[in-house]
Amino acid sequence: MSKFRDRRAAFRERTEQGIKEREKTGGRFSCLNLAKVEGVNFFKPTSDKKHRNEIDIIPFLATQDWISKMRSFNGAVLGINPGDMLYKFEVPGHPRIGSEERTFLCLKAAFGKSCPICNEREALKENQDADEDLIKSLYPKWRVFYNVRDRNEEDKEKRRKVWDAPYHSFEKFFLEEADMGEDGVVIFADPEEGKTIRFKGRKKNFSGREYLEADSIEFLDRKKQYDEDDIKGSISFDKYLKMPIYEEVEKAYLGLDDDKKSGKKRKERKEEENE
Ligand SMILES: [Zn+2]
């Protein structure tokens, strides 16, 4: 029938597949250049015991030709085309590379190409004396970007937000909760039959670093559903992915890039990590 309906059907099918085929690997990230988008508000889940987080996830339309070749967290090629709907953008990155502590897209996890950081990690694994922690730090960390409506935001105008979340703390749990076994799956991000996700932010601690994780997830009927205009109004995250070239990442890792490190930058980064 309508193009929108076809897109939606394909979208539901992909979501279902994603939920069924999910696997474990990965972690955390930030390598989109969202500074280019005007007026982006970021969603930050709360751990406040009195307030549960309540969000609706709104799909976006893919725009880039390479999107068909990109891989998702479970290693499968997305196989979608520009114009198709996605509710999340899963991005593998190598954080804190070089003196500027930049985050680079992992070309291997994202596209199956050669990645200097992954190559280094594999080389270190061959070396018996190599530092285990260093090896661990060289695995790509997965982050997930969503367009959300923050239902707890009083100001209607400010409800529209972007959520940059570590895969293992949220998406993993949403997918687990959405999988109802024989009863099928909850297509929580469907524009017309989706659900409001309500969850607690549970504080966790790993290696002295505090972070939040989704807990007590519930899928509630939405007060309002969404339409094609809402989807068109979502940020197409693929447009803002910084695509590095091999040599650039290699230079940064080896410390051959310009040393522009500043105290402020490091401080900002620390704060981001503590979110
Ligand atoms: Zn890599």
Q: How far is ligand 1, taken at its centre, from the CA of residue 249, in Å?
A: 10
Quick one: pLDDT at residue 4? 84
Structural domain total, the chain? 1
Q: Which residues of the chain have pLDDT under 70?
A: 1, 17-30, 257-275
Domain-located, residue 193: no
Domain-located, residue 98: yes
- Say if residues 232 and 59 touch (Cβ distance below 8 Å): no
How much is the CA Rg of the chain, to the nearest whole Å?
Answer: 19
Domain-located, residue 211: no
Three-class secondary structure of residue 12 per DSSP: helix
Tell me the CB-side half-sphere exposure of residue 5, using CA atoms within 13 A.
2
Three-class secondary structure of residue 133 per DSSP: helix
Q: What is the mean pLDDT of the chain?
A: 87
Q: How far is ligand 1, taken at its centre, from the CA of residue 76, in Å?
A: 16
Q: How far is ligand 1, taken at its centre, from the CA of residue 238, in Å?
A: 18
| Beta-strand relationship, 141-150 and 102-105 | unpaired
Q: How far is ligand 1, taken at its centre, from the CA of residue 69, in Å?
A: 16
Write the CB contacts of 104 (distance below 8 Å, at least 6 apart in sequence): 31, 93, 94, 97, 117, 242, 244, 248, 249, 252
Quick one: pLDDT at residue 1? 57
Domain-located, residue 187: no
Q: How far is ligand 1, taken at its centre, from the CA of residue 49, in Å?
A: 38
Quick one: pLDDT at residue 258? 53
Q: How far is ligand 1, taken at its centre, from the CA of residue 153, in Å?
A: 37
Provide the domain limits for residue 151. Answer: 3-44+57-179+232-270
Give the total residue count for the chain.
275
Domain-located, residue 166: yes
N-term to C-term CA, the chain? 44
Quick one: pLDDT at residue 37? 84
Quick one: pLDDT at residue 27? 26
Domain-located, residue 163: yes
Quick one: pLDDT at residue 11? 82
Q: What is the pLDDT of residues 3-61, one digit of tens each?
A: 888 888 888 887 776 666 543 222 224 689 887 788 889 999 999 888 899 999 999 99
Quick one: pLDDT at residue 30? 63
Q: How far is ligand 1, taken at its centre, from the CA of residue 235, in Å?
A: 26
Quick one: pLDDT at residue 213? 95
